[in-house]
């Protein structure tokens, strides 16, 4: 049911509305104090009232449909279309939301906001169950409240992070460390006394790694003489196995009979020619790089940042540095890196952490500041705070630099972050015994904690050889680079031995491979929306849901580029190429299409129509920076596919194309009539196109100007067929964009909106519809013009903004046809996303998608003519095909299907 509670701004009555139009009644404002002026908070969810809450046996009263939140199957209570009404009197998404529950093991909540158009909230629970009664039986809520008061110190300032964390800026002398009796009269050491020289071995891809930041920093900063501390909440404590164990790693238990784990690659550390044995620990699986044999007073590394899958709430995974000393069964350890730890932090975000123990996690030490021990000195980094952005497979790589060093004068062990940010220190003189002097063992790598390692069925944080060989996580720049190194991995699969003679160390960690992009900041979204959506002279609400803004021609997005500061728009091209038309098929039966929004109005002269970008469009993107761009193109290892006619082109990962190709000359124009369909797209991340490409430059980093139609749910938010343009100065995914989503294209026409839906659509063996696309270079200005339909000049890619190098002269390759983008092409099971009409090219007219009136403009002839040489190309001929029937080209396919050989 749809419910809406709102205040009448004229009477201050608080109304309740049921469904869309039924006003049930209202509460009089005289009943309330503050609410008569407006609400300070809004909550959605469920509540159980019973005298048997927070105790055992717990009530069996259900919340929701009795199931815990399940957004994947929607088999739980939920809220959708969540909105608030603010003083603007516009219903909109809340800018900030968080989920909360009183009894985590009895009733839960989950706020789903990633990868969906409209944020959703799921809630519910059965009440009494083994975990609920267990938690309420062993947790005393008075004890919980006492623990919260102990952990959360009075704040000088509080920062609400957009990821849901609350950061308290606490007086530096009131932080948790000072609960420790040994620090009663401790004077804080504000900076370390050392500055170690660093020897850097040569490393790989240094330019491709970017550092990360903490999410809360976008929402504020802590003043001087305070330190940022992530606030612990009641639900954090209720997730713990006990109040006493909260914030600690589980105790390490040696389960190996021989106290040894044999390494199948034979890489054992040796001391005095004696082979060193490693213990095997219960519930832990590690893959590490080890150095030992010396006394160490410092270690560092650049740790690649990912967001790996964690199967169960009581499991966690880390990528970190350990400095250890003491016997195996009772070692001391100082640790730092990143972790995904749902039980401790209440989510599956990647977070920066610190940890210490004096007795191999038995009774001492903790994560972050959940016990006294670590002294914070800096205002910039919060222990336990989420970090972003996150690395992506074969994409941008991000890192954190972590260093742990002993101050030779004070014996304090300092933790440094990033280039040179001292976070604080462990006062070893009061906390440690062995580590007072030095560390005897340093480890870099990763660890998974789970009750389901070293047994069957194994946790779904698996070691898979296929993953190991495809994705690597690198920990680099170990300072000073150790002379004695070995790799160590418990239950490690057979694979090629690691080459540790080069100074670029790869730890092949499958559980670091599930990279995901960080959450999008709503402040970033607002800034991006203001940048993309220009003030409208007139606004048109299209019947298909699009909003078209008629924007002053000199205020369109292209003029955000500094290169166009004094640009005078070229209102028409300086050319008029003659066209030679070969005879074609059924010319009279093809009809041109229109754009849906045109039925609702038109833009006045001096303006251009621009499809408005909405918040939900940006929230679907992997990142704000990548919004409106195609994913980075990666040439597959096989690199080339040989076609039947003998020529070769590169094969791209995640792309499957069927095209007609011409090359061997210098082209300054191309055109074609493209048949219009609405093919099926399986996944929101897939898209399909029918288009023209005009390309120049090398295969692995080409420039391209493109236009045609597409079905692209992730970009446009639906499965309609839309007219699009695209450009890039390199296939790396860092330049160019679709439509007006970046500066580059100057529009002059008030008739056509880039990215808008087109109709009507062709029907199998029925009426056929098409759009005419032409891309031409102006020989006088070097601007590349886009023409649509019979003679509509839409605009041009300005030479001053696109900074084309190869295409500034001419194009070397022109292609007509279709492409499917999906992470499930060229593999089994294959995507069912279709190309063209969804029928193979051999279906020909009325069944397959086609391009007719194919023509190019040669640099020398300056006339539109049929290409002198043409070849067909298809990546996967069992899934999508192209068929040349002079003078037309037919293409398409269904992807995976039961009656074809597409896997």
Instruction: Give the pLDDT confidence of 324-364 residue by residue, as tens digits.
Output: 998 877 889 999 999 999 999 999 999 999 999 988 888 88
Q: Cβ(292)–Cβ(311) under 8 Å?
A: no
Closest CA to 25 of 39, 1, 37, 8: 8
Same domain, 506 and 544: no
Q: Give the span between the Cα atoms of 686 and 680, in whole angstroms.
A: 10
> Same domain, yes or no, for 497 and 633?
no
At residue 466, does pLDDT exceed 50? no
Instruction: Sort strands 655-675 and 811-821 into parallel, antiparallel or unpaired.
Output: antiparallel
What pLDDT is stored for residue 517 in this prediction? 34
Q: Residue 89, class by beta-carbon neighbours within 10 Å (0-12 exposed, 13-18 middle, 19+ buried)?
A: exposed
> Beta-strand (E) ranges in 215-315?
226-230, 270-271, 274-275, 284-296, 298-304
pLDDT tens-digit series, residues 227-270: 999 999 988 888 887 777 888 887 766 655 444 444 443 344 43
The residue among 138, 156, 186 that closes a domain is 138
- Let me know whether 465 and 562 are in one domain: no
The C-alpha atoms of residue 154 and residue 579 are separated, in whole angstroms, by 78
Looking at 91, 117, 138, which one is the last position of a domain?
Answer: 138
Residue written as token pair 């933790």: 415
Pairwise pLDDT comparison (78 vs 647), residue with the higher score: 78
pLDDT for the residue numbered 488: 42
String of DSSP letters for 215-253: GGGGG--PPTTEEEEEPP-HHHHHHSS-TTTTT-PPPP-
Least confident of 1-10, 388-397, 555-564, 790-799: 388-397
Whether pLDDT at 113 is above 80 = no
For position 497, what pLDDT does the model report? 29
| 185 vs 603, residue with greater confidence | 603
pLDDT tens per residue, range 86-97: 777 778 877 767
Tokens describing residue 173: 């002398």
* 187-192: average pLDDT: 89
DSSP result, 735-783:
S-EETTSSS-EEE--SS--BT-BEE----TTS-EEEEEEEEEE-TTT-P
Residue 606 shares a structural domain with residue 487: no
Confidence of residue 131 (pLDDT cuts 50, 70, 90): low
Say yes or no: 72 and 184 in one domain: no
Residue 461 scores a pLDDT above 80: no
Of 836, 853, 811, 813, nearest to 895 by C-alpha is 836
Sorting pLDDT into bands at 50, 70 and 90, what band is 790? confident
What pLDDT score does 274 carry?
A: 44
pLDDT at 731 over 90: no
Encoded tokens for 397? 């790589």
CA-based radius of gyration for the chain: 31
Determine the Cα–Cα distance for residues 153 and 149; give it in Å rounded to an integer. Answer: 7
What integer is the mean pLDDT of 389-412?
A: 88
Q: Which helix (H) or strand (E) holds 527?
A: helix 522-532
Alpha helices (runs of H) in 397-444, residue ranges in sequence order? 428-431
If 0-12 CB within 10 Å is exposed, 13-18 middle and 19+ buried, where does residue 223 land?
exposed
Residue 852 host element (H or E): strand 849-858
Q: Measured between alpha carbons, how far is 713 from 621 in angstroms, rounded to an integer?
A: 11
- Note whether residue 17 is domain-resident: no
- Find out whether 405 and 232 touch, Cβ atoms under 8 Å: no
More confident residue, 420 or 723: 723
Q: Does residue 276 or residue 297 have the better pLDDT?
A: 297
Q: Is residue 21 part of a domain?
A: no
Where a domain ends, among 138, 153, 181?
A: 138
Give yes or no for residue 695 having a pLDDT over 70. yes
| pLDDT for the residue numbered 301 | 92
| 365, part of any domain | yes
Mean pLDDT of 737-744: 91
DSSP 272: T
Contact 785, 749 (CB under 8 A): no
Buried b (16+ CB within 10 A) or exposed e, 296-333: bbbbbbbbbbbbbbbbeebbbbbbbbbbbbbeeeebbb
Is residue 189 domain-shared with residue 115, that is, in the same domain? no
Give the model's pLDDT for residue 353.
96
Is 488 domain-assigned? yes
Instruction: Grade residue 467 by pLDDT with cuts at 50, 70 and 90.
Output: very low
* Calpha distance 310→291 (Å, rounded): 29
Same domain, 174 and 238: yes
What is the mean predicted confidence (pLDDT) over 163-167? 92
Confidence of residue 697 (pLDDT cuts 50, 70, 90): confident
Say how far apart CA 295 and CA 442 lie, in whole Å.
10
With respect to residue 150, please indicate whether it lies within any of the assigned structural domains.
no
Whether 214 maps to a domain, the answer reads yes
- My answer on whether 121 and 175 are in the same domain is no
What does residue 660 show for φ and ψ, rounded to 5 degrees? Answer: -100, 130
* Rounded mean pLDDT, 774-792: 91
Task: Dump the DSSP string for 133-194.
Answer: HHHHHH--HHHHHHHHHHHSPPEEEEEE-TTS-EEEEEEGGGSGGGGSGGGTTPPP--S-S-
pTM: 0.47
Q: For position 396, what pLDDT does the model report?
A: 83
Q: Is pLDDT of 710 > 90?
A: yes
Q: How far apart are the first and last CA of the chain?
A: 43
Q: What is the pLDDT of residue 618?
A: 87
Domain that holds residue 325: 170-512
pLDDT of residue 732: 59
* pLDDT tens per residue across span 806-817: 898 899 999 999
The token duo for 575 is: 């050319």
pLDDT averaged over every residue in the chain = 81
Q: Examine the pLDDT at 473 and tell me if it is beyond 50.
A: no
- Are residues 466 and 318 part of one domain? yes
Report whether pLDDT(464) > 60.
Answer: no
So what's the pLDDT on residue 576? Answer: 75
Q: Is residue 25 part of a domain?
A: no
- If asked whether residues 545 and 505 sit together in one domain, one would say no
Least confident of 49-58, 71-80, 199-208, 493-502: 493-502
DSSP H/E element including 657: strand 655-675
Same domain, 502 and 562: no
Do residues 146 and 107 lie in contact, with contact meaning Cβ atoms separated by under 8 Å? no
DSSP-derived letter for residue 835 is B
State what percent of residues in the chain have pLDDT above 70: 80
Bridge partners (DSSP) of residue 650 are: 640
Asked if the model's pLDDT at residue 712 lies above 60, the reply is yes
| 609 occurs within a structural domain | yes
- Point out the least confidently predicted range of 177-191, 367-381, 539-553, 832-846: 177-191
Instruction: For residue 759, give every residue at least 6 positions away whose Cβ sits within 8 Å of its Cβ, in sequence order, or none.
Output: 593, 594, 595, 596, 721
Task: Supply the pLDDT for residue 206.
Answer: 47
**Coil vs helix vs strand at 558:** helix
User: Structural domain tally of the chain?
Assistant: 3
Residue (of 854, 360, 769, 786) closest to 580 by Cα position:
854
608 and 494 in a single domain? The answer is: no
Q: Hey, what are 157's tokens? A: 């300032």
Query: Per residue in 595-630, pLDDT tens?
Result: 999 999 999 999 999 999 998 888 888 888 888 888
């Amino acid at each position: 049911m749809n419910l809406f509670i709102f205040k009448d701004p004229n009477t201050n009555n608080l109304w309740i509305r049921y469904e869309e139009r039924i006003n049930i009644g209202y509460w009089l404002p005289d009943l309330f104090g503050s609410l008569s002026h407006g609400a300070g908070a809004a909550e959605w969810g469920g509540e159980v009232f019973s005298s048997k809450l927070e105790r055992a046996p717990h009530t069996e009263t259900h919340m929701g449909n009795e199931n815990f939140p399940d957004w994947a199957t929607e088999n739980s209570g939920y809220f959708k279309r969540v909105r608030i009404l603010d003083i603007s009197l516009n219903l909109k998404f809340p800018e900030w939301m968080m989920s909360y529950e009183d009894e985590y093991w009895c009733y839960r909540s989950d706020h789903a906001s990633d990868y969906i158009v409209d944020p959703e909230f799921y809630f519910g629970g059965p009440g009494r169950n083994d975990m609920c009664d267990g938690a309420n039986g062993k947790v005393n809520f008075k004890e919980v409240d006492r623990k919260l008061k102990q952990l959360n110190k009075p704040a000088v300032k509080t920062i609400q992070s957009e990821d849901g964390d609350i950061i308290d800026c606490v007086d530096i002398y009131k932080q948790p460390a000072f609960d420790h009796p040994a620090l009663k009269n401790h004077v804080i050491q504000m900076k370390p006394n050392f500055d170690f020289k660093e020897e850097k071995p040569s490393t790989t891809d240094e330019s491709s790694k970017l550092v990360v930041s903490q999410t809360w920093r976008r929402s504020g900063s802590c003043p001087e003489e305070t330190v940022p501390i992530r606030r612990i909440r009641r639900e954090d404590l209720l997730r713990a196995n006990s109040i006493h164990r909260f914030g600690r790693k589980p105790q390490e238990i040696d389960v190996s009979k021989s106290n040894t784990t044999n390494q199948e690659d034979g890489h054992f550390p040796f001391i005095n020619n004696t082979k060193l044995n490693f213990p095997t620990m219960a519930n832990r699986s590690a893959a590490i790089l080890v150095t030992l044999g010396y006394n160490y007073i410092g270690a560092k590394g650049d740790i690649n940042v990912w967001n790996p899958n964690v199967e169960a709430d009581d499991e966690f995974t880390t990528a970190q540095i350990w400095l250890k000393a003491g016997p195996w069964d009772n070692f001391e350890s100082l640790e730092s890196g990143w972790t995904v730890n749902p039980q401790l932090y209440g989510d599956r975000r990647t977070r920066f952490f610190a940890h210490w123990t004096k007795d191999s996690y038995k009774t001492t030490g903790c994560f972050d500041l959940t016990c006294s021990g670590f002294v914070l000195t800096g205002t910039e980094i919060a222990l336990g705070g989420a970090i972003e952005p996150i690395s992506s497979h074969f994409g941008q790589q991000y890192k954190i630099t972590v260093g742990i060093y002993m101050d030779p004068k004070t014996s304090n062990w300092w933790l440094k972050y990033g280039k040179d940010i001292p976070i604080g220190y462990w006062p070893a003189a009061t906390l440690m015994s062995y580590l007072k002097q030095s560390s005897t063992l340093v480890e870099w790598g990763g660890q998974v904690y789970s009750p389901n390692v070293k047994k069957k069925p194994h946790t779904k944080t698996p070691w898979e050889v296929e993953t190991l060989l495809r994705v690597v996580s690198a920990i680099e720049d170990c300072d000073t680079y150790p002379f004695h190194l070995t790799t160590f991995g418990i239950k490690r699969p057979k694979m090629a031995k690691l080459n540790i003679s080069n100074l670029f160390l790869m730890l092949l960690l499958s559980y670091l491979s599930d990279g995901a992009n960080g959450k999008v900041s709503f402040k970033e979204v607002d800034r991006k929306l203001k940048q993309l959506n220009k003030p409208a002279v007139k606004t048109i609400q299209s019947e298909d849901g699009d909003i078209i803004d008629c924007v002053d021609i000199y205020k369109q997005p292209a003029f955000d580029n500094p290169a166009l500061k004094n640009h005078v728009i070229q209102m028409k091209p300086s050319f008029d190429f003659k066209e030679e038309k070969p005879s074609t098929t059924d010319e009279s039966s093809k009809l041109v299409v229109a754009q849906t929004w045109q039925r609702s109005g038109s833009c006045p002269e001096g303006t251009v129509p621009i499809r408005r970008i909405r918040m939900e469009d940006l929230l679907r993107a992997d990142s704000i920076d990548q919004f409106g761009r195609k994913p980075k193109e990666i040439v597959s290892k096989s690199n080339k596919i040989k076609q039947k006619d003998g020529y070769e082109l590169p094969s791209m990962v995640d792309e499957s194309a069927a095209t007609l190709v011409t090359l061997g000359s210098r082209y300054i124009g191309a055109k074609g009539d493209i048949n219009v369909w609405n093919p099926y797209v399986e996944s929101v991340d897939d898209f399909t196109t029918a288009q023209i490409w005009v390309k120049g430059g090398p295969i692995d980093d080409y420039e391209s100007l493109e236009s045609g139609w597409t079905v692209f749910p992730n970009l446009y938010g639906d499965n309609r067929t839309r007219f699009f343009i695209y450009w890039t100065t390199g296939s790396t995914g860092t330049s160019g964009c679709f439509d007006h989503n970046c500066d580059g294209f100057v529009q002059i026409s008030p008739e056509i909106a880039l990215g808008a839906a087109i109709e009507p659509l062709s029907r199998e063996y029925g009426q056929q519809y098409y759009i005419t696309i032409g891309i031409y270079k102006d020989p006088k200005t070097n601007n590349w013009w886009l023409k649509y339909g019979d003679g509509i000049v839409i605009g041009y890619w300005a030479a001053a903004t696109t900074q084309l190098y190869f295409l500034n002269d001419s194009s070397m390759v022109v292609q007509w046809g279709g492409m499917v983008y999906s992470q499930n092409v060229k593999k089994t099971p294959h995507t069912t996303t279709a190309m063209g009409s969804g029928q193979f090219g051999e279906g020909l007219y009325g069944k397959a998608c086609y391009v007719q009136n194919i023509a190019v403009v040669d640099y020398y002839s300056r006339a539109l003519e049929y290409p002198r040489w043409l070849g067909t190309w298809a990546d996967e001929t069992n899934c999508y095909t192209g068929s040349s029937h002079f003078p037309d080209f037919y293409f398409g396919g269904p992807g995976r299907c039961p009656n074809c050989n597409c896997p």
